[in-house]
């Protein structure tokens, strides 16, 4: 029995989810100086130190393609990019046929359950110590809280001595407390209850640096990058980043069933009681009975949030915070 199965994965595999993931990737790349590989690793890239990369939980595979193209563009003659995910993704072949026909370089996609000990041991046997860079992004919905330490120990073994890792996760506290005023408190509480009850770790972004240190990584750099869906240009006119808005709307859409299901659970009140104190501190005056109850209320809340985010008369700060954490395996 695998430790997880694609059916367990809460965000699913629809076409709209693939589009949301690619929009999310574009948003993340933009704040990363338009790089798939962090600017903090560009010295290593320029020195030719990064030739083999691995993306864990690779989704549509977009990062593998972009990272490989970036490395090729920097003059690396032969690049290997490996993407692993628990589910086969139609986009793996779509991307492969679009670009990267250069036979001196390889992009390989394969199936792997990051939570499965047997599969991960086999991957370590095949690939241990061979990667110059291991990347993982947006796995908050995929990796159970108790599995993070073991996963990071395995990542440590996958990277060659002196090699690098790059993890990217959103600070979920920030997304749900800032972006959907005035219902941010409700959304935050429900989101946290849902993820907690599924054994997922809503704090994985802010815990990552500590966990990487525990796994043996050094030179850990935890960078917080603010995504700004709306900003004022030099003439003071509000500009809206449509890709960021598309991503935010997609996030509300994909989380809708989860929000509604968790609200129906008989143990919902108990789940809320188990929320950390800081959630209650960020939602002053909110009582359990004030939380969202119907589909209509969820949809109204989302509509209101989208109106705020796309307002061109005033900026309502959403600005989700992306943690990009870069570290090195000691030589």
Ligand X SMILES: C[S@@+](CC[C@H](N)C(=O)[O-])C[C@H]1O[C@@H](n2cnc3c(N)ncnc32)[C@H](O)[C@@H]1O
The contact set with ligand X (CB under 6 A) reads 4, 9, 11, 21, 24-25, 57-59, 85-87, 112-115, 137-139, 141-142
What minimum distance in Å lies between the beta carbon of 269 and ligand X? 29
Is the torsion defined by CA of 148, 149, 155, 161 positive or negative? positive
Residue 227: both structure tokens together? 């995504």
The residue among 11 and 249 lying less far from ligand X, judged by its C-beta, is 11
What minimum distance in Å lies between the beta carbon of 22 and ligand X? 7
What minimum distance in Å lies between the beta carbon of 273 and ligand X? 28
What minimum distance in Å lies between the beta carbon of 107 and ligand X? 15
Q: Which residues pair with 304 in a beta bridge?
A: none
E-assigned strand segments in 147-199: 159-170
The residue among 63 and 185 lying less far from ligand X, judged by its C-beta, is 63
The residue among 19 and 319 lying less far from ligand X, judged by its C-beta, is 19
The residue among 19 and 181 lying less far from ligand X, judged by its C-beta, is 19
Distance CA 300, CA 214 (A): 44
The residue among 113 and 183 lying less far from ligand X, judged by its C-beta, is 113
E-assigned strand segments in the chain: 52-56, 80-85, 106-111, 131-137, 159-170, 218-226, 230-232, 238-240, 321-328
What minimum distance in Å lies between the beta carbon of 99 and ligand X? 18
The residue among 118 and 269 lying less far from ligand X, judged by its C-beta, is 118
The residue among 200 and 272 lying less far from ligand X, judged by its C-beta, is 200
Q: Which residues pair with 224 in a beta bridge?
A: 323
Distance CA 61, CA 55 (A): 8
What minimum distance in Å lies between the beta carbon of 112 and ligand X? 6
Q: Which single residue brings its beta carbon nearest to ligand X?
A: 59
Task: Report CA-CA distances (Å) from 324 to 1, 53, 136, 248.
Answer: 33, 17, 10, 19
CB 237 within 8 A of CB 230: no
Helices (H) and strands (E) in the chain, counts: 13, 9
Task: Quote the distance between the C-alpha of residue 302 and its chain's center.
Answer: 21
- Cβ contacts of 218 within 8 Å, gap of 6 or more: 327, 328, 329, 330
What minimum distance in Å lies between the beta carbon of 73 and ligand X? 21
What minimum distance in Å lies between the beta carbon of 157 and ligand X? 17
The residue among 142 and 271 lying less far from ligand X, judged by its C-beta, is 142
Task: Quote the distance between the C-alpha of residue 235 and its chain's center.
Answer: 34
């Amino acid at each position: 029995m695998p430790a997880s199965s694609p059916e367990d994965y809460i965000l699913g595999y629809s076409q709209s989810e693939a589009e949301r993931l690619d929009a999310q990737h574009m948003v993340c790349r933009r704040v990363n100086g338009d790089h798939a590989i962090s600017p903090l690793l560009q010295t290593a890239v320029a020195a030719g130190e990064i030739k083999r990369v691995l993306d864990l939980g690779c989704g549509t595979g977009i990062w593998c393609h972009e990272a490989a193209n970036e490395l090729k563009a920097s003059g690396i003659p032969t690049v290997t990019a490996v993407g692993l995910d628990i589910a086969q993704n139609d986009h793996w072949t779509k991307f492969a046929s679009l670009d990267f026909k250069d036979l001196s370089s390889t992009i390989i996609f394969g199936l792997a359950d990051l939570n499965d000990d047997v599969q991960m041991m086999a991957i370590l046997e095949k690939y241990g110590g061979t990667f110059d860079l291991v990347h993982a992004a947006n796995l908050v919905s995929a990796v159970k809280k108790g599995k993070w330490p073991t996963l990071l120990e395995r990542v440590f073994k996958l990277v060659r001595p002196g090699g690098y890792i790059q993890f990217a996760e959103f600070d979920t506290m920030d997304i749900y407390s800032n972006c959907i005023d005035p219902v941010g408190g409700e959304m935050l509480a429900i989101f946290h209850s849902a993820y907690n009850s599924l054994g997922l770790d809503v704090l994985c972004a802010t815990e990552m640096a500590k966990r990487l240190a525990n796994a043996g990584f050094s030179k850990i750099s935890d960078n917080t990058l603010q995504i700004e869906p709306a900003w004022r240009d030099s003439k003071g006119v509000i500009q809206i980043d449509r890709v960021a808005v598309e991503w935010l709307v997609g996030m509300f859409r994909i989380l809708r069933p989860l929000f509604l299901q968790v609200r129906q659970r008989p143990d919902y009140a108990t789940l809320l009681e188990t929320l950390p104190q800081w959630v209650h501190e960020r939602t002053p005056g909110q009582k359990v009975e004030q939380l969202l109850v119907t589909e209509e209320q969820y949809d109204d809340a989302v509509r209101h949030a989208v109106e705020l985010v796309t307002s061109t008369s005033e900026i309502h700060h959403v600005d989700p915070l992306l943690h990009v954490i870069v570290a090195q395996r000691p030589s």
